[in-house]
A and B are shown apart, each in its own frame.
Chain A
């Protein structure tokens, strides 16, 4: 058994890992940046060590310092969480070199799945379907791409090799319009990344983003824990996940699960990992990529399977076999996770920073909140805006939605703006309720304003509330300005003022 685990992360995921360790009787070590001295993971851990200044590259990305601390404090293992160093094969290798267990896959698997072209080539060999395209072919000239295009099929996407964030991306409907679009895509890629190389990929219309959770041990056992539906995204950031997906039936689940297991076996995978697929309207699915780490949205799988994924990760890292065989994995009910971000949904989702002055968490049956913040904690601009994950379980999808509605309304956070109203609006959307959505839904067919027009209207109550607050404010400032003109005595006035602020 490990005696001491160092958690090389921050925020809710560091807290999540510390909780698993605590329950297993393992001591925990937190590392933190100067901005996180008062963070919850530091308060919950048995030991805590300062890494450096707030920016991640000077703190949470300092692999050398983290390994140094692990050695000095005698940690047996390092859990990287997600983000930061989680998918860096050099970090995993450096841990192994230092004689510290890395709670995650082998460096070679991280490397194989980290390079997109290599990952594609590897899974194709294992018989896993991929989105038709030219990414693995290497750089091609315009003439070559135009010749290849009909084979890929229209509509297709031109994507920048060095790309990301939609830069250098073009949708092509036909061969005729392709030369012009190629030129503009190359120009945009050149100016954004200094690399004008592009490749083609078939455009999957109405696609859903479905991922399969994998667990694998060092004894050759690989199982899957079913799917997560992650189609609700904005700017390629997931906002809401659920399990199971309303787009899958048992047959398709079985098929995608076994393909995911094959993909993991192709890179000799160990520990927890996730295979991401695109699923089209005709139930064809295509491998997108593998995330070689614990996922943000792992709790929805935990809620429907009852399996503690983090504990399994620790178990596997100790060289034990998995606690479950495939036929022992049972799915029960439905789970939904809403990512609560410090963003203002009424102001173009701009990040919101500041001190959390008040927070009231939703509780009650079937509700789980994973968070790293509390009243008095300062949300800084240095890290991810996700401050909490609200997860609910229900016997059916409908019950989970009703429960999520209830929990969102209970959740109070004051001090920063959050996207809770966005999730509330989403819960009321008919398309969401009907499970009728794809990866473009939030960006193309959803708006806070439209939803507001059809929803419940409380104009009059809002008017009373605002007037009462405005009236109080006016009275207070009038009292301050006219201090010497008060008709009542000062004592009487103080009494009134206090009553008003009780």
Chain B
């Protein structure tokens, strides 16, 4: 049986990504903005959202992520220890008044906290994470109300604050409201899983009870141990439907579809299938494997312009920006440009026409390659970014082409997935990857021949009876 194409909701990471959203507006199923971006650049973000909406005639669902987890406890990725100091939100900078260097919560999060309500504002003021387990029921209700109000009212407030001359933009006031509102959510680590899951369910229930003007969705933001635990997974399947929320967005920290072992892939499918019949289920940071779960009830995925498969809850500070690799559609993974080039003759691709037939015929690939397959190298074009740089890095133009190519493919994938049957999914992923499976330069991505790489694990997980 075929299904509705799963949705792809694209998340705006920064205003530098504006071009991607404007160019791809007509293909998007939704647009998500983080509260921190909205609060640091309210007018610009508002204008961007409305400009994109305008291209779509105001029919583009808009989501405002309140990012309440940022103000809760997290696990330090370098030490593995629980942190309640909000240091992940801080940066070193000069104080405007004293001109002295300070280490303080970034303005974007300070502004967001002040909009979300006193619990979040207090957390920033005191430099101590919100401990949801000690928040009383009455206070929880107030927290939920504050987070809902923020999402429902904020865009309208910004519109009222800035001068909008464009008549069309005025007319678009109908899309001030987001498509859904998210209940407050906090990171759940295995060491506080029971209390954390209880709190997540309770916050979902309290938010749904407010009966706001738009549907309420919960966010389950937890680490991998929660996904691996059959008991925790079953708890969510049992408890979430009773909360009254109409959707849930799953975010398992560290769950990477391309590296996950079989039990994680199967458990993820179980939770999707377990909840899919009662509510809309999304993967907040998902990729192609998630899209394939549309047949199990997955309503959609979300991700940013430059990444697709995962996002850590706590980012490693100072990590270098990676090269934007070429998304190779037959294997649903980004790989290096020379890796692809070296494999082309081995899979029988020696002309541009063969490339368009067997790899990708998106506008970007056709434009870059034209009639000369050697021009594929442009996707990896390098330069010395600065006089002090030790190595060459990808040119911004090449990175942009890789991103556009990835997004054009990603936004077409739901239709292809929907045409499959549930039983065909495993065959589909293995058949598409088969010609590439034994190419030596791709073994670092697909795994050694004879061993199970992510393609085989996806196939097995999709065929597992659950």
Q: Do the two chains bind?
A: no
